[in-house]
Structure 1
Amino acid sequence: MTTTTQHQRSEGVRAAASGLTMFAAVMLVMCGMLDIFRGIMAIADDEVFINTPHYVFRFDLTSWGWIHLGLGVVAMAVGIGLVVMQKWARIMGVGVAALLIIGNFLDIPYAPLWSVTLIALYGFIIWALCVVQPDSESY
């Protein structure tokens, strides 16, 4: 490919790229909402979660609640930005999903099944945002 010639993508490739971006957007909004609910549960009632007395990264569950609530709100905002095809949202989506993977990993002793599920979903979101190279005119 020379610098003067620009490679044109087929309609199928463009559809796949926009489909994966939309998948990431919807999943980011949904997972962000789940983290918001998780944060509200931890803030409102600490007895909902498992108590692990000798956990290295032990925080008060109310603190974990505020962390998940804040990151969930940011994840939803970035997901909405992805729906309207904003370039900043694509970059932030990878970063926010990575932060939420770390947050959910550190939170495994308090809600193991929920944490592992969300880690997998955020991994899919990162994959969907990184695997496609959208056309420059759409971003």
Structure 2
Amino acid sequence: MTDTSAGSSVPQLSEAQIQAWTREQFQKANKFLAEKGIIPNKVNTSESRYLAPYVAVWKLESTQPTKASYWVISGDLPTDMIGANAAKDARDVIRHFSLAWQLKAENLIQSGAVRDETQRKFANLLIARAQSLFQLHEQEQLWQGQAV
């Protein structure tokens, strides 16, 4: 999913802009893991995917605190992670977060937490991004050439 011309709504970015965005998202993913106490030491570039300037899915490996692999999603959405065994590929990661964020937003709404303005905005953001991720998941042309 490295195609940046997948639709008319995708802004046309120069190669330099795409590279800068990709670097920024990679740094964001690494920082997110580090904040969780996980120090990544390797990126699996063959399994990682991105659609600049919207979403990047990284498969990162760590040896500290233990040897493990993780999927990290970043971009114009909340940065989040799951263990690598929770999804078989980047497309699966997209589907996972689409469903997980819908559930998380529903739980926020059901708990009454959305009476707080910040929580309401967060729930709405999760719903919007979950819907966008689902649409990306369903676009077959983005995933051609990737084992599904």
| TM-score class, shorter | 0.3 to 0.5
Answer 1 or 2: which has greater strand percent: 2
Q: With structure 2 as the length reference, what TM-score do the two structures score?
A: 0.41
Q: With structure 1 as the length reference, what TM-score do the two structures score?
A: 0.43
- More RCO (CA 8 Å, sep 6+): 1
Of structures 1 and 2, the larger Rg is shown by: 1
Answer 1 or 2: which has greater helix percent: 1
